[in-house]
Amino acid sequence: MRTCEHCSAPLRHWARADARFCSTRCRVAHHRAAQTHAPRALPAELINRPRWVNHIDKRPVCSRTGRWASVTDPSTWSTHAAASATGAPLGFVLGDGIGCIDLDGCLDEHGIPNEAARVLLAYYEGSYVEVSPSGRGLHIWGTAVPQRGFKRMWRGQRIEFYSQGRYITVTENVYQDGNLAPL
């Protein structure tokens, strides 16, 4: 006997052969539940800013020319759409109120964060966080006033923070869905 994909109730015997739900209510509820659990893409605050570059071996590249890009020269940056269209790995030039905390080597081979990373993730709950290109680090994205960046050791974890004069690689491999909260 066929059952509803949402509530597992038996489907009526006269239901179409391709029917998946017992009612419109279950179909809509199933769709809404899937939408709330699906990871979102990059926050619009990042996508809407024309501060995108591509990168080769962690060096920023202008999406339009293929030459090296500069983190201080906006003429070498592109829109998200233009940078994505190249098919090359993406990067975002920090500034204009956007910053990033870079945690290298904080994930084990199973993707489980170390204690220091767990504390930071709890503190920045609701922030957009993605896995770094290595698969072992995290990038916590947020809003930040332009200031000098820093590198520190905290609870055995190396922490880097930048809000200007740098670019960060973007993987779109979402670790924690969210928005850009203050850093």
Annotated active-site residue in 45, 96, 160, 177: 160
Helices (H), 63-171: 80-85, 115-123
Residue 42 near residue 172 (C-beta atoms within 8 A):
yes
| End-to-end alpha carbon distance in the chain | 53
Annotated active-site residue in 6, 104, 109, 125: 104
Q: How far is CA 81 from the centre of its chain?
A: 16
Q: Is 73 a catalytic residue?
A: no
Q: Is 139 a catalytic residue?
A: yes
Annotated active-site residue in 6, 55, 80, 139: 139
Side-chain half-sphere exposure of 54, counting CA atoms within 13 A: 18
- Which structure tokens are listed for 149? 């960046």
Annotated active-site residue in 55, 80, 102, 130: 102
Q: Is 22 exposed, middle or buried (0-12, 13-18, 19+ CB in 10 A)?
A: buried
| Cross-strand bridge partners of residue 55 | 60
Residue count of the chain: 183
- Which structure tokens are listed for 117? 């990373």
Q: Is 102 a catalytic residue?
A: yes
Side-chain half-sphere exposure of 118, counting CA atoms within 13 A: 6
Q: Which residues are catalytic?
A: 102, 104, 139, 160
